[in-house]
Structure 1
Amino acid sequence: MVSAAAIDDSSLQLTFVLFLTVVVITLFTALLTAPQRDEISEFYLGDRAMSPLRNGLALCGDYLSAATLLGSTGLVALTGYDGLMYLGGTTVAWMTVLLLIAEPLHRTGRFTLGDTVALRLPRRQRPVRVALAVCVLAIATLYLVAQLVGSVALLTQFTGVPSGTTRTLCVVVIGVFVILYASLGGMPGATVIQIIKAVMLVAGVLFTAGWVLHRFDWNPGALLERASERSGSGLSFLEPGLRYGGTVSNKLDFLSLELAIVLGLAALPHVLMRLLTPRNAGVLRSSVVWAVGLVGAVCLGAGVLGLGATALLGRDAIESTDRTGNAAVLLLAHELGGSVLTALLTCLAYLTLLAVAVGLTLAGASSLAHDLYGGVIRRGRAGETEELTVARLSGAVIGVLGILLALVARGANTATLAFLAFAIAASAILPTIVYTLFWRRFSAKGALFSLYGGLFCSVLPAVFSPVVSSAPGSFYPEADFAWFPLQNPGIVSIPAGFLLGWLGTVLDRGPGEDPATHEEFEVRMLVGADD
């Protein structure tokens, strides 16, 4: 965090007015579109008659967080080529969803991933649903805390390091909005804010990127040349290795991070839940294509913004304000359009934080209510009104838990928390999805090994990494118990998750599933009940 305000007070005041206006409008709309009947399908899936474009916008809104607008542009501004490669991985990640996961999951799922596993492993589904709920809760909570901590980091750009009261108020206000959207609005309410956020994000990023290019007479070559001149690194700014080069550890860190991003997206709970909302696989396919295009456009625009910040402001000015680079896009906005553009992009960043947090809270609440309560505790006998009540209460509980953890983890690095969530998703949930869909022999024991083992292999290296101790930016910089050298555990935990899923299945000597069950599952996966 910076020690002094990066942006003037007028921008903060205008941001507050704009954000409050957008939140009031979207919250009112979300409540109007909220489920009016006690039907869990409406709460979990919302309006299944939406067009591919609207579904694509909702998918885009679910995925793109403030890290894309602030963190990614800052990474490009400070590291050039390496930052652009990171953005490229974000776009490529959606191809994994489109080609591997989307349609088979949609055809075999109902409300959650637990329903797909239950259809594939009906005899021993209960312990697998418990394991899935644990992993989903871990991912959703980590990512939710990252969003709430990020709201304080964003406020810091205006006020300097905020007081304890201001920090608490910021987290609590955002957290309460999250609970209202998720618990009262359900999927219809979440969809409203996701679509509005996606439209604003695409328009805002592309408009500002166009303004940057206009300053350089629409000549990308001139932009790149000026950015390299003012980066302090010369042509090295446009070559790989400025951040993730040099030592073997740095290169492995980059590979580990890219693996977590590319593979983790396909297993993020709120993205998986959104894949179940289109009415049929054809609409889903078109929706994901729209999402790929929209995410790619935002990432392209973010790259231009990062380069533009370096070209117009210089790396020294950005680092002197915020060494992480998160202030780059706000400083650029102030340079281009003064307080008005700064306020617009800051409002957009807060709306982005809020929208992603709502999706995460809803996904966590759905897993707790449908998988844990409905499928395990009540063994499928819970009425719709009963399960809906539990889902709403679960949303409130997860929201409160996120608020409390965000207040405790006030100095946490938001990017680290988010990327750890990606690593857990890629290490625990993705192997379970892939094996469930595509391996005939896969068993419940293999699923448990993959889920719990992937979670353990993600969290343990992270605890004993430079993220927690031994480095200046660690949680405990004074201590030194970091034996794992990388910032992200993905390069170790993802192969471990797949290996453990295979090992658990091979070692499983219990009674297998009825072969007819897998044949029925396979037909449904390939053909679907709605196509």
Structure 2
Amino acid sequence: MVTQAAAVVDDFSLQLTLVLFITVVVVTLFTVLLTAPQHDEISEFYLGNRDMSPLRNGLAMCGDYLSAATLLGSTGLVALTGYDGLLQLGGTVVAWMMVLLLIAEPLRNSGKFTLGDTLALRLPRGQRSVRLALALCTLVVCLLYLVAQLVGSVALLTQFIGDPSRTARAMCVVVIGTIVVVYAAIGGMPGATTIQVVKAVMLVAGVGITAVMVMQHFSWNIDRLLSSAADNSNLGDEFLGPGLRYGGTTANKLDFFSLQLAIVLGLAALPHIMMRLLAPRTTQVLRGSVVWAVGLVGFVCLMAGVLGLGATAIVGREQIAEVDPRGDAAILLLAHQLGGAVLEALLSSLAFITLLGVAGGLTLAAASSLAHDLWSEVIRKGKAKQTEELAVARLAAVVIGVLGMMLALLSWGTSTATLAFLAFAIAASAILPTIVYSFFWRGFTGRGALLSLYGGLLCSVLLVVFSPIISSHPTSVYPDADFAWFPLQNPGIVSIPAGFLLGWLGSLAGGREEPAAAATGTSAFDEFQVRALVGTDQG
């Protein structure tokens, strides 16, 4: 566990940050109450007002994805590792291209409220068992990512007060978690959309203005920025070349490839991202929304790279590492150098708002899957009333929020990046094979879906348990134990192919499960493919 001995932010910045944070929270909570679903209709709670423009929905998608890990972690990674940090940022943009080209339109055309509805349409036989497996995977992915956000809030708190006491950690997690539960349980998708749009606008503006200040500092000369970063890194040209973080041993290189594979493929299967893809009313709005999201996420990642290099060039790599070995303090130290306490407070409050936005989206996605897939379709066998399902969804949001808070307090000291990237790996290993096979393989069966979901989940978790994340390393959860036979920190390079392989083997072993539709005589897959490729504009 890595902690800080002293705070990064001075008293004035702390007070200003607190004022800004409370102001934004009060305004957004009031807005959530105003925009919350006014009727007991699950469609409004799950999908909200479907009259959003492509820009607004694109901003919401951007807000759903970009977390404090991008603002703090990615910037710090660039500041400490240079080229390798920039390379990792590039994977995010490629991941959104995967969503645009492969997943977005077929999912929106064939889905209703959750991915479970798509799978039920594609695999009508045994759909309840598939929904159950999908709900479990969704819960695990969302909880891991939610815990990462809540643990990140405590890590951010250390920038203000130094190493927090147990009471301070608990208060921070409970306050942030409670706000998140209110966002999800009361606001539903309309409230979550409002929060995400506000957050995305603030994030794009914040990183853009700070990046402009960095470039102005170097007279808009990129060569000066790069040379100054290399000089102040005390590593020279090595800082601008590959291998500083992921070079050297074969295990390091494989770890980087495994991580990038999880990021690129996992994004397309994150439950809160898929839920957002179902919200547009027409495919034209969806295309425009994803294009906006790609552009906005790409812009923020580009600015994060500029800020990371600027932090090294202006503050110095050794000073950043001395304050926080993980580099999370890099952007705050840079802000203090460029704009003093005011800019530092603005970016600090922005980081907290970013945490809230992502955590709210995750809680809503998990609650929707539990209420719709597990309760309504599996337990109640499709006979639940809308008011009943809506009540279950809100109760599930509270339960997930409380569970996330408890796990976050137990997980203190675990890297937020590790938790987040494990969620990506599970999504890519369990959920993505099921999506791809459902859309593009006629021979895919319910047994194949179950093996993909359960097998990908189990494989990912087991590999992490027996990896250096848990034991055999000074930064492990149990540093004194040694049972890590899997050498990589991210399981994606093994678990993702395993998920696809299990889906293929299960489908072959399960025999033919493609009944013909009684009315038309065409196969269920043919009808599904027409729906997925052509679709209907949903009202």
Q: TM-score normalized by structure 2?
A: 0.98
Per the alignment, residue 409 of structure 2 pairs with 407
**Does the CA contact (< 8 Å) of 2:445 and 2:513 recur in 1?**
no
Pick one of 95, 103, 106 that aligns with 2:105: 103
Residue 11 of structure 1 corresponds to 13
Unaligned runs of at least 5 residues, structure 2: 517-521
Report the counterpart of residue 362 of structure 1 in structure 2: 364
1:62-83 deviations in Å (ceiling 9; x for gaps): 0000000000000000000000
Mapped to 1, the partners of 2:488 and 2:274 lie a distance apart of 28
Asked if 1:140 is matched to 2:147, the reply is no
Q: Give the corresponding residue for 1:521.
A: 528
How far apart, CA to CA, are the structure 1 residues paired with 2:529 and 2:339? 56
Distance 2:223 2:4 in 1: 32
In the alignment, does 2:431 pair up with 1:429?
yes
Tell me which amino acid in the other structure corresponds to 1:311.
Answer: A
Distance in 2 (alpha carbons) for counterparts of 1:207 and 1:471: 40
Q: Which residue of 2 aligns with 1:472?
A: 474
Distance in 2 between residues matched to 1:35 and 1:210, nearest whole Å? 40
Residue aligning to 1:449: 451
Q: 1:121 touches 1:513 (CA, 8 Å); kept in 2?
A: no
Report the Cα distance in structure 2 between the residues aligned to 1:507 and 1:332, rounded to whole angstroms: 58
Unaligned runs of at least 5 residues, structure 1? none
Aligned 8 A contact 1:96 1:263 in 2: yes
- Give the superposition deviation at 1:512: 4.0
**2:383 counterpart residue number:** 381
The number of aligned residues is 531
State how far apart, in whole Å, the 1-side matches of 2:233 and 2:535 are.
53
Equivalent residues of 2:97, 2:294 under 8 A apart: yes
Separation (CA, whole Å) in 1 of partners of 2:435 and 2:346: 39
Distance in 1 of aligned mates of 2:126 and 2:392: 24
Q: After superposition, give the CA deviation of every residue in 1:361-403 in whole Å (9 maximum; x if it has no partner).
A: 0000000000000110011111110100000000000000000
Deviations 1:310-331 (A, max 9, x none): 0001111000000000100010
Please tell me whether the aligned partners of residues 445 and 512 of structure 2 are also in contact (alpha carbons under 8 angstroms): no
8 Å contact kept, 2:36–2:190: yes
Structure 1 CA distance, aligned partners of 2:369 and 2:376?
9
> 1:327 aligned to 2:329?
yes
CA distance in 1, matches of 2:13, 2:480: 37
Residue type at the aligned position of 1:524: R
Which residue number corresponds to residue 537 of structure 2?
Answer: 530
The alpha carbon displacement at 1:509 in A equals 3.3
Partner Cα separation in structure 2 for residue 122 and residue 167 of structure 1: 47
Q: Equivalent of 1:47, from 40, 46, 49?
A: 49
In the TM superposition, 1:123-522 aligns within 5 A as 123-509=125-511, 511-514=513-516, 516-522=523-529
**Aligned-CA RMSD value:** 0.8
Q: Hey, what's the Cα distance between the residues in 2 that align with 1:269 and 1:513? A: 29
What fraction of aligned residue pairs are identical, expressed as a percent?
A: 71
1:252-288 per-position Cα deviation (integer Å, ceiling 9, x unaligned): 0000000000000000000000000000111000000
Deviation at 1:447, TM superposition (A): 0.2
Residue type of the alignment partner of 1:523: V
- The AA in structure 1 aligned to 2:531 is R
The secondary structure found in structure 2 opposite 1:204 is: helix
Question: In structure 2, what residue type is equivalent to 1:221?
Answer: D
SS in 1 for 2:523: helix
Given that residues 514 and 525 in structure 2 are in contact (C-alpha distance below 8 angstroms), is that contact kept between their aligned partners in structure 1?
Answer: no
Q: Is the 8 A contact 1:179 1:399 kept in 2?
A: yes
Task: Give the letter aligned to residue 123 of structure 1.
Answer: R
Kindly report structure 1 stretches of 4+ aligned residues shifted beyond 4 Å: none
Is the CA contact (8 Å cut-off) linking 2:442 and 2:525 kept in structure 1? yes
Amino acid at match of 2:356: L
User: What is the distance in 1 between the residues matched to 2:353 and 2:337?
Assistant: 22
Q: Do the aligned partners of 2:64 and 2:272 also contact (CA within 8 Å) in 1?
A: yes
